[in-house]
Copies of this chain bind each other. A is one copy, B any other.
């Protein structure tokens, strides 16, 4: 009854209703009980194997049988370490995220946030299955929370309010994810290996041929943009726009706070947003 080892320690009045198992695995102490035979497997080994499988064949290639087979064990033996596949995926996510990048505490917020976004993008490029795995309601693990912490630390001295800082992290994350989404979409298919944006243009062109009257703006945009396209151009473009918008807001805030030092925080204190 109470010895399943997965239930949370407290009485259960947690906001994580069904996901207490994930929370316990992600955050709990995993002290091995000192009775019975030593486990031949480990959570780390299982998780790493599952991640390796997902890196190769996507999240669909991760099944209990395959993970167990890769380790020369039976499927059910995994359930001694993990209460279910959902929890295994949660572990995979947090392990694959890895340690957040170290930021110098005195670094300026803009380059810090830029490298943060770049590192996050690299993580998504290394583990494209994170895009399909980290959707829907789930419990954040220590690494995932660490990434958020890292970005918030960069924004601590910007004058933004707490919720604005959180919203900023959400904004940048959403952009990086969106780009990773498209990049992953182009990494498969018949034209694997060519420049990704060319594949996108090719796919769009194939759809647009004979339909340019229905999609005139798309047609002209694709035609005009097909010439110059680099790999991470979309990521850079969006990121610069976001950072520009943030800088404008931060400068405005600084100007409101102390008008005499308005030109110090940002390069420009203009009222760029006359909504």
- Minimum CB–CB distance from A26 to chain B (whole Å) comes to 9
Partner of A218, one of B14, B152, B244: B152
A244/B243 in contact, CB under 8 A: no
Contacts of A44 in B (CB 8 A): none
Partner of A243, one of B214, B222, B273: B273
Contacts of A224 in B (CB 8 A): 161-163
Q: Does A173 reach chain B (CB closer than 8 Å)?
A: yes
Q: Does A136 reach chain B (CB closer than 8 Å)?
A: yes
Contacts of A163 in B (CB 8 A): 197, 221, 224-225, 228-229, 233-234
Give the interface segment out of A33-41, A137-145, A253-261.
A137-145
Partner of A181, one of B135, B167, B185, B275: B135
Interface of A is mostly: helix
- Minimum CB–CB distance from A112 to chain B (whole Å) comes to 12
Q: Does A56 reach chain B (CB closer than 8 Å)?
A: no
Q: Does A61 reach chain B (CB closer than 8 Å)?
A: no
Separation of A206 and B139 alpha carbons in the complex (Å): 11
How many of chain A's residues have a CB under 8 angstroms from any CB in B?
96
Question: Could you pull out 5 A-B pairs where Cβ atoms are within 8 angstroms?
Answer: A137-B189, A153-B216, A167-B237, A244-B272, A270-B272
Given A166-B221, A268-B268, 17 more pairs with CB closer than 8 A: A16-B189, A135-B181, A145-B215, A149-B216, A149-B217, A166-B222, A170-B182, A171-B237, A171-B241, A174-B175, A177-B177, A240-B275, A241-B245, A244-B244, A251-B272, A268-B270, A268-B271
Q: Which residues of A contact B (CB under 8 A)?
A: 14-18, 23, 27, 58, 131-132, 135-140, 142, 145-146, 148-149, 152-153, 155-156, 161-168, 170-171, 173-179, 181-182, 184-191, 197, 199, 202-203, 206-207, 214-218, 220-226, 228-229, 233-234, 237-238, 240-249, 251, 266-268, 270-275
